[in-house]
Amino acid sequence: MAADYKAVNLSQGFPDFPVSEELISLVNEGMQKGLNQYSPMPGLPLLREAIAEKIDRTYSLNVSPDSEITITAGGTQALFVAITALVEEGDEVIMFDPAYDSYDPTIRLSKGIPIHLELKAPFFGIDWDEVERSITPKTKAIIINTPHNPTGSVLTNKDMLKLEKLVNEHDLYVISDEVYEHIIFENKPHESILKYPGIYKNGIAIFSFGKTFHATGWKTGYMVAPEAITRELRKIHQFNVFCGNTPMQYGIAHYMQNKKNYSGLPEFYQRKRDRFAELLAPSRFEAHPCYGTYFQLFSYDKISNKPDTEMAEWMTKKHGVATIPASVFYENGEHINYIRICFAKSDETLEQAAELLCKI
């Protein structure tokens, strides 16, 4: 619809600014060196070793690049592998709405039962007492996502300690979607499950280079899990895609060795978040708190009572700005008067969109 109506596209979660020329050059170098065939099934050793070093440096966890790290064809493929490796017929999996849209169908494809709990507005936090009440003998796993798409909320140390307690009391698995690990604001720490041994022993952490290096179309990510779990993940991964993109792995392995190539992301995206909020200050849209990801929810209560899907369509067709209605992230399609925008855009795009939105 954005293309049909030539609207400014703040809907889909991809940057409209270029990938690092250095990174592109390194990928091209891999191609020129002939790294254009299949990589080893778990991924290039060079990249897995670079990831292990980064995890040790960032989360103080010593993981084996050979037996605990698997390179995937993006974060969504990693989620598919993690869910299908763990979930069997009749297993219940607790997840939280609003949620990234691949969790539920993959659970159901595995003949599992998704248990949808709702994050609590206005800060979209988890009610851990409700989680505990929802655990049954059939509960197999909990899926968490921090920083969170679409709300921009982040889990805290207190959240992780409560999760760790439940994991150990009920012997649950945790699938942790951490693809926005480096896009977190206000100097908040990213609370990865890799920092919590009591969770990681039953956990799978999932990451995305596409989000970190502004290259979502490269579809390159990775999973980190203890050796016994990784063996099961690779049984699915092998017959799902076999391996990830080889020259991308080569280029990323070299590029990520310089910490500066990803350590500045919080400041980079926080400036974009703040700039867009400043541009929209004169408008009738109200920004919801955003502490991570490159998405933010905006309320349109002062503008219209339209259902959010209708509102998003109207904004695209009549005002030339495409956004995502928040209800699509809920199992029940709940209408909550929020639209989601993506601020991973050039300053010119954000300024153009803000000018149009301020006229509504």
The tens digit of pLDDT for each residue in 286-339 reads: 999 999 999 999 999 999 999 999 999 999 999 999 999 999 999 987 777 899
Task: Name the packing angle between helices 75-86 and 227-240 (round to 10°).
Answer: 110
How far from 310 is each of 288, 305, 314, 320, 327, CA to CA, in Å? Answer: 20, 10, 6, 14, 11
Distance CA 224, CA 126 (A): 24
Q: Which residue has the higher pLDDT, 336 or 184?
A: 184
Q: How is 265-316 classified by DSSP, letter by letter?
A: HHHHHHHHHHHHHHHHTTSS-EEPP--BSSEEEEE-TTT--S-HHHHHHHHH
Query: What is the average pLDDT across 330-354?
Result: 92
Share of the chain above pLDDT 90, in %: 94
Cα dihedral across residues 295, 301, 303, 309: positive or negative = positive
Residue linked to tokens 């596209």: 9
Confidence of residue 41 (pLDDT cuts 50, 70, 90): very high
pLDDT at 72 (0 to 100): 98
Confidence of residue 242 (pLDDT cuts 50, 70, 90): very high
Distance CA 282, CA 75 (A): 37
Share of the chain above pLDDT 70, in %: 100
Query: What is the average pLDDT across 5-18?
Result: 92
E strand segments, the chain? 8-9, 69-72, 92-97, 113-118, 139-145, 173-177, 203-208, 221-224, 286-287, 295-299, 321-322, 324-325, 338-342
Among 3.40.50.620, 3.60.21.70, 3.40.50.1980, 3.90.1150.10, what is the CATH number of 8-17+264-357? 3.90.1150.10
Distance CA 311, CA 324 (A): 9
pLDDT at 272 (0 to 100): 97
For residue 4, count other CB atoms closer than 10 A to its CB: 9
> What's the CA dihedral at 234, 239, 243, 244 to 10 degrees?
-100
Q: Is the pLDDT of residue 21 over 90?
A: yes
Query: Of 33-37, 117-121, 197-201, 253-257, which range is least confident?
Result: 117-121
Fold of 21-260: Aspartate Aminotransferase; domain 2 (3.40.640)
When the pLDDT of each residue in the chain is averaged and rounded to a whole number, the result is 96
Query: What is the average pLDDT across 182-201?
Result: 97
Q: Is the pLDDT of residue 284 over 80?
A: yes
Same fold, 8-17+264-357 and 21-260: no
The tens digit of pLDDT for each residue in 54-103 reads: 999 999 999 999 999 999 999 999 999 999 999 999 999 999 999 999 99
Residues near 274 by Cβ (< 8 Å), separated by ≥ 6? none
Query: What is the average pLDDT across 198-225?
Result: 96
Confidence of residue 123 (pLDDT cuts 50, 70, 90): confident
Per-domain residue ranges of the chain: 8-17+264-357, 21-260
pLDDT at 336 (0 to 100): 79
pLDDT at 12 (0 to 100): 87
Q: Is the pLDDT of residue 120 over 90?
A: no
How far from 100 is each of 12, 307, 327, CA to CA, in Å? Answer: 12, 20, 12
Q: Is the pLDDT of residue 108 over 80?
A: yes
